[in-house]
Amino acid sequence: MTRERDEQFMRAALNEAKKALGQTSPNPAVGAILAIDDRIVARGHHREAGRDHAEIECLRDFGARVPGRATLYVTLEPCSTAGRTAPCTDAIIKTGIKNVVVGATDVNPCHSGKGIKQLRNAGVKVREGILVDECARLNEAFNKWIVSGRPFVIAKCGMSLDGRLTRPPDEPGWITDRLARHHARELRARVDAVLVGADTVRVDNPRLTVRGLRQARQPWRVVLTRSGKLPGHGHLFSDRFASRTLIYRGKSFATVLKNLGKRDVTSVLIEGGGEVLGQALDARLIDKVQLYLGPILSGGSVIAFPGRGAENTANALRLRCVSYRRIGQSVCIAGYPEALSPK
């Protein structure tokens, strides 16, 4: 079996895993495929916490005795301990599978490498590290939460070419076009919580719901406020998802993230306004930036990322792994902040 073929099958497993993005938290998204004689014969993915893991679903999809020449591909190291479900390593060993290919290893220090070790001790040949970066990035939020206890933070906004979140007061309307806004709602459907500041609630009365998408879970809606003065009639407090709204009064951003992590929130999407985005930037608590740049110079009053700013260029936040994608008439720019070099 060549590495090229391994990567081909692992991409198929990744596509399986992506089917449940946004549905499995606080578990990771995982995909698996079974190959025999260079042909995929079964597929599976983890659908939600508490249900069978990808490996088990894949083996059930095959529905027959697995021949020794078969190879199981899984995007994440099989679990070796009992949780909501039984250990996957036990089920794999029981089938008699002799070849397993793993994408990323478990980042949990208590579990990392143990599943692979158990399989090898049982005589299973394990190849690991196939498309490891892609497999790890698929669960970047879970990985951060499981290691640090804090959710992965995505700063998202639709902004004008002059860095504004709004149009002039007498010209209400969107900065970005319909296609870009739909793309942003897809991102909302993949996170555990959406966070806004009190001013956004007072001025925009947002719903922060997932709509127009199938099988999407409604994320928690988090509001940061200093005074606690919020409109009781607002959508966040009166609609059918009111019980999914959390209010934090006078809490630092870091404290809020720590509390959300204890609630099994693995990912947070900051949706506004500018003050909250600026606070997160100043505190260096942003893990990913996703900006939708509209083709307009608005001159609006709300700046996208206000705050203290960097003391000098050397301390400015720079992005790595930057991507640019045109969506309708807007451009989506995404990237990951680099860590500051120690002085």
- CA 7, chain centre distance (Å): 23
- The residue type of 171 is E
- CA distances to 25, 155, 261, 284, 307 from 336, in Å: 22, 10, 20, 12, 20
219-233 residue pLDDT tens: 999 999 999 899 988
pTM of the complete model: 0.90
Would you tell me how many other CB atoms lie within 10 Å of the CB of residue 230?
A: 17
Range 230-237 contact pairs with CB under 8 angstroms and sequence separation of 24 or more? 230/198, 230/201, 230/202, 231/201, 231/202, 231/205, 234/201, 234/205, 235/205, 235/206, 235/207, 235/208, 236/201, 236/206, 236/207, 236/208
Alpha carbons 89 and 92: distance in angstroms, whole number? 5
pLDDT value of position 168: 79
Q: Which residues are catalytic?
A: 55
- What are the helix (H) ranges across the chain? 3-18, 54-62, 88-95, 114-121, 132-138, 140-148, 178-188, 198-204, 235-238, 253-262, 274-282
pLDDT value of position 342: 44
pLDDT value of position 300: 83
Taking only the tens of pLDDT, the chain with its 343 residues reads 588 999 999 999 999 999 999 999 999 999 999 999 889 999 999 999 889 999 999 999 998 889 989 999 999 999 887 777 778 999 999 998 999 999 999 998 878 899 999 999 999 999 999 999 999 999 999 999 999 999 999 999 999 999 999 887 767 778 999 999 999 999 999 999 999 999 999 988 999 998 777 767 899 999 999 998 999 889 999 999 999 999 999 999 999 999 999 999 999 999 988 999 999 999 999 999 999 999 999 888 888 888 787 778 888 889 999 999 999 999 999 999 997 554 4
Nearest to 103 by CA among 78, 71, 69: 78
pLDDT value of position 343: 43
Nearest to 106 by CA among 152, 71, 72, 74: 74
| φ/ψ (deg, to 5) at 330 | -105, 165
Find out whether 144 and 151 touch, Cβ atoms under 8 Å: yes
Find out whether 64 and 99 touch, Cβ atoms under 8 Å: no
